[in-house]
Amino acid sequence: MDLSHFGFNLFKKPAPERQTSFKSLGLATLLAVIAWCIAGIQIWLLAYGFGMDLPISNMALSIGAYTLAWVAGFLVVFVPAGTDVREGVLGLLFAGSLSSGGILAVVLGIRITMTFADLAFAGAGALLRTSNKR
């Protein structure tokens, strides 16, 4: 019995016909880590534009801060899309590296950028889906 079957048994639900392999789970995890690193680097470069120093340690801070903010936003389920939770975590973690205006600019810039990226990928997915139906 793998972990997914344990979860389905725990909630008394039927297990899916296809099992997830550890290889596909590992690949999905790797892609998530890469995405978080890219988003963290984006934050690092944006924060540099608003006054944060450029050392590599600040890049690690940015990647870690984004990852922690994403997880916090995901875990607070009563707030849609982690609104304000991610921003609050980022603000707390950047408090020693940026001015309050810089924090606000970075946090708003990230929210706007991520929203546009989500919309662009959703639109691309919808277009691909409709083109595959033809």
Q: What angle do CA 23, 24, 30 make, to 5 degrees?
A: 90
pLDDT tens for each residue of the chain, 134 residues long = 566 777 788 888 887 777 777 888 899 999 999 999 999 999 999 999 999 998 999 999 999 999 999 999 999 988 887 778 999 999 999 998 999 999 999 999 998 998 899 999 999 999 998 887 76
Asked if residue 59 belongs to a domain, the reply is yes
Asked if residue 92 belongs to a domain, the reply is yes
Query: What pLDDT does 3 receive?
Result: 67
Query: What pLDDT does 68 receive?
Result: 95
Number of domains comprising the chain: 1
Asked if residue 8 belongs to a domain, the reply is no
Q: What is the helix (H) or strand (E) element at residue 20, kind and residue range? A: none
Locate 68 and state its tokens. 């922690």
Asked if residue 1 belongs to a domain, the reply is no
Asked if residue 23 belongs to a domain, the reply is yes
